[in-house]
A and B are shown apart, each in its own frame.
Chain A
């Protein structure tokens, strides 16, 4: 990796250091790794959403020539279960399967075909049980527990202000959000090798190396220091690689076979193998004064966590604490549960609980505006939170959070021209294959405003460590080596880390060591946290290196002790030199480093938050980022097809470290919100996913996503390095509700369900209609 020298510090659109290898095809992703003698692994998964397992017979599979190892629950030497927050998920189902797709066994064989045959030779006696797939029924008094830990993952009840206080204008309704998938483009993969010391080495595509290590060590029953992970090339993540998938199975197989194992999913298995975005059923009741001041918000949320916990408890906290949106609400009652069902497990996906509630609270704001006869932008601006306001949790909102400015800025962007009759098919709903009749197109405009918490919440003392070394290359050029376990999943941390090191140390050449567990944890690449947390760690380590270097120079120059103690007041690093104007000193960096390299470690912590206490009160979130989208859509009122004509976004970005990366993040986040609004849904029938492939699970293409008109508000975040904010999640929260609002405006229907399907927009012909039409034509 690395190698190519890119120049530029923070604030510049510096290019990705891994870019040249990515455009040439040379960049090695986890699924591309091969070693001589490696085995191919496959996983046997339950076809039943719920079943008792009578017997698992692997004898025939083991006897097949070319099969090196078969593992089941009986072969897990350590803890039998794993999980991000609570270890409630069996490595392999032993006595009961709880979702369709749950792993039951895994095999390693000389090639993929043999591995497939071995899977077919494993006999499992399932006694199918009736699955519980309705999240609103599993908490009933007579509901069967689906797991020894029960059916409730978490319940949160936020009470704010006075109960029962209402305004005269009331809107209430139910909303439903379907199950979205991260659908990162590179399916899960790892290359796992057993080590001579009894440990195991993994090269894996993941979001969080050290969490994987902790869970692996527990299940393998070996100390963490014998489990070594190195990040392999990651083809996207979006939350879907925060949970363990291939890691433990691969390690068990490699240790059983005594040989390296490649374990890689295909697309179908990827859809079954990782947790998804929680489907949600939500009820909201908003009341306001006659002149449009919010008085109260009530919300009840039921989120379907599926069979195992994953990050459900934290997702629920996000959903409930954000349920009223970025608005001043004097009185609120926000209640939510996340429950266990026999549906596929759900966990982290970009936005982490917030996109669901944003669908609800933004629909409510539009209906309230309607009821009040107010403009939806005006209603939002009037009620937008300001720093200093008390949120429903009791948390006092910190600065900056320019919610009001965001919605006003986005509303002021120029609108696209009205639909023209002469546009080609591609520019009409339905595109080339099913272009709408120009006269049957209705246009709508919709808005959404949201905020999204940044970093980990609820009192977690989250941190990120980095190590920085400044030395000379063989030809005497100063070079910085940055070592962080931060998982680069595409977001561009590798670029930002180099920019920070160049800025702090004035050295052009920055090499990034591979991310691995040889350095301290960088935490997860999630929660919009890595630029802030690992960026903060890299900066801290660079500052420590710089201080030591300056002290060395001060000492060598015989400067007084107080300068050596605090050299930054007198000396600074600038463009390859150490300069002290008053001291009349000028030393080349290369000369200062001749004495030897300088290395420093730094661990960055964010400010402490608190857990939610009684009544859901506390100071749970480190900070927030706001976003506002405006969507313009055209709808074909015959076929119910939607074309998004334009998207505008105003976002609260903090200091911008890399404008090009920022734009990539907000455009990508917008597209994922567009997918949630219009097409992306994993459909389950009795717990079984019916569309686990790219033919049936639709993703936005380049023909679906319009250019983004983007305005960044760049007020620095005071407690973050350089004033940064995380930027990847907020736009995913607002794109979907803005599009749904635009469709509502176009067709005048309520649309309480996301994604919006064609049948939600047009009345499908009934049997009677078909008969009538038939009669008419034959008459």
Chain B
């Protein structure tokens, strides 16, 4: 857990770049300031007035005027502009919105943002560019674990969490740990391969258990 939170904190610099990186060019909002223009302005009638603070990817962000019932996912995306966190089901069933909340893996759509007052939230954008996360990202690319990529931010967070807690997880444990993350494109084969490749690169893959090569076995012709 300490490794993860350290990772999250030293990601601060990356966090600034990334916090708004998902925001479209023309509408670029300034990340790193407390709240955005929209966030400050948005009072949602139903329960406004509350104010709380979240440490998001190493930055202290103040949330005010959000509805008291807003999920952490909604506050991250719609109030703070952190679109690196994805919304796909808002029901805790797909893992697209995965973050580390005080070092623990959480589906941000199932957490009340106001309940997270004072917590450290680390998104994929704040995981940092070195060490384990860097290896996870690199192997997701090398092994073809990314197609549309909408599940990828959640998977990168979940895989980083898994390999932090359990670096030598076997295939069954990997599948169990990632069963909360839906990918509709890849069929998961390349995702398992990517996790195995990270373990291999870090010299912790159990012997004899090598990742499946990306290249398909093929015959030169139909014979």
Contacts and interface: CB of A to CB of B under 8 A. Distances in A.
B218 A656 contact: yes
Interface string A668-706: 111110000000000000000000011100011111010
A23 B221 contact: no
A694 B94 contact: yes
Contacts of B81: 34
Nearest to B188: A702
B221 A710 contact: no
A662 B190 CA distance: 11
Contacts of B22: 25-29, 32
Contacts of A29: 22, 83, 86, 150
B142 interface: yes
B184 A238 contact: yes
Contacts of A710: 216-217
Interface stretch (B1-9, B23-31, B197-205): B23-31
A297 interface: no
A490 B147 contact: yes
> Per DSSP, are chain B's interface residues mostly helix, strand or loop, or mixed?
loop
Interface string B131-148: 000001100111110111
B176 interface: yes
The 6 A-B residue pairs with the shortest CB-CB distance in the complex, in nearest-first order? A25-B84, A490-B148, A235-B150, A22-B149, A671-B187, A667-B187
A16 B145 CA distance: 10
Given A113-B67, A402-B223, A185 B218 contact: no
Given A25-B22, A702-B179, A184 B184 contact: yes
A405 B29 CA distance: 57
Given A668-B185, A668-B187, A694-B182, A35 B147 contact: no
A662 B147 CA distance: 11
Nearest to B194: A23
Contacts of A186: 86, 88, 148, 150
B123 interface: yes
- Interface range, A side: 35 or more
B175 A426 contact: yes
Nearest to A31: B87
Nearest to A18: B149
Contact of B192 (A490, A652, A666, A707): A707
Given A705-B189, A711-B216, 11 more contacts: A15-B141, A22-B149, A32-B22, A32-B77, A184-B184, A659-B216, A663-B144, A694-B88, A707-B189, A711-B217, A713-B222
Interface of B: 18, 21-24, 26-27, 29, 37, 42, 44-46, 67, 77-78, 81, 83-91, 93-94, 96, 123-125, 136-137, 140-144, 146-153, 156, 172, 174-176, 178-192, 212, 214-223
Nearest to A651: B216
A662 B216 contact: yes
B163 to A, nearest CB: 15
B147 A652 contact: no
B188 A715 contact: no
Nearest to B27: A35
A112 interface: yes
Contacts of A700: 187-188
Given A22-B149, A26-B84, A185-B183, A694 B91 contact: yes
Nearest to A667: B187
Contact of B146 (A19, A191, A652, A708): A19
Contacts of A95: none
B149 A400 contact: no
Contact of A703 (B45, B77, B136, B176): B176
B178 A185 contact: no
B146 A22 contact: yes
Contact of B184 (A19, A36, A183): A183
A185 B148 contact: yes
A659 B137 contact: no
Contacts of A659: 214-216, 218
A113 B44 contact: yes
Contact of A236 (B148, B178, B212, B219): B148
Contact of A111 (B18, B42, B140, B219): B42
Contacts of B192: 702, 707
Interface in A79-114: 111-113
A25 B172 contact: no
Contacts of A238: 184
A236 B150 contact: yes
B184 A707 contact: no
B100 to A, nearest CB: 13
Given A113-B45, A185-B184, A426-B176, A16 B146 contact: yes
